[in-house]
Structure 1
């Protein structure tokens, strides 16, 4: 991207992406329009200097689902790049390039590595011109993985399918359990039929993933849950074998202005969970004990 270029980006993005765009890219003269790409008319935001559309699907943390194929038709019509962060589903569950995306972004630190023991990022494309540009930039900046990190990622990918299947099975059971709790106001998981993106997910993905978000009826309940979990770790990452729970308001999205955060649904009552591959009985037993303590039982 060059100074003066414009990007359309999803309104609900990982906080690190928002920090990069707002505090680095804008300073360097790149313009952004934040759009709810899953429901708004993206074409209406295209300008003469628009170069690309950047989305996550499902989004982090509100699990909004965008129709990739439909969006790709718009970007191709206007000769724009479509860039999709596929970290939440991984290549095992979703392949955006097959649906018309030009570039796919993965945080290899997450599901691809799978063990929370290496830092990695990937840019994937099926276009030769983009691939050559990436190759030039990697050689110029030195942004390549060290040999041992490559080994760790390759090791993780060998068990990707097994881990994703097990984590998804656990996530579905936990999401169902959470829906029955009186101190939970909302559970957001795209594997529920009532989720607005359910049918789109069935069409463009092979699974619903192991990420879920839920909203407590009081923010004090959220704090107490975070203080009392033990086997489930209160930590910011995702995609490892361990189940992690995160408080987006002060962790992943701490630098997002409050009015924008709340508009996107990230209130002080919201928790995000990355479900791991532990025994589901152990996970539910922990949640039952924690929730009982929160209720004062």
Structure 2
């Protein structure tokens, strides 16, 4: 029944709002990380091993989640909704992202060293030499990028298949989250084993990144900005992350920069505390819109 998928989305959004994340010791993504960890080493045939991991590990994750949802649904459809909600809660993340970004931005005004320390959990860059301006930039960039990777992508996968089967929807969300997690563990230039996982992640995140840009523009009431962000969005090496970041930079009229990698100069100045806070609020509204739209889509 469509209503069950919509209820699962609503419960997942409520759990995210109240609890932020499942406990680390039982978090399914952490469990997947432990399963994938043995692949993170030097191999004599790294491309083949990476391809094997990219194909099999996400499928195993998807199969486990879909199987759990399906088997419990046989006992009770509403028990299946509960499992689906927990699966979505585990594969999406909004409040933790917003809390981390808000903390980093506020600390830049009072304790830059603490802001650098907190940034390590939010952005994959060395913060030791970053100024307060650059730290705020990194927080805004990460909020935008993780909106796509950590929320829109698994919700989109769920929305595509949940109308067919609740179990398929949860399995699809788990598959996307596993692909992204594998890329975050292995997808670095100095790790040949991560080459195939990185390319797979690029393909899977192509549409969610652009949908995230659309969501940001619409919740800001400025859909026209999307016509102008293309040149900025193509500056980062990633084919995807530039879209939500460039859109947010344009909406804020600010400068976002990862030194030595890219410059998104939609404005001349780095975001101050007020502008960065507005950026985090826009990500919050876009994330809530993503939950709401997913609930509507799976209803029909």
Which range, TM-score by smaller chain?
A: under 0.3
Higher strand fraction (1 or 2) = 1
Structure ranking higher on relative contact order (CA contacts 8 Å, 6+ apart): 2
Higher helix fraction (1 or 2) = 2
The alignment's TM-score, normalised by the length of structure 2, stands at 0.24
The alignment's TM-score, normalised by the length of structure 1, stands at 0.24
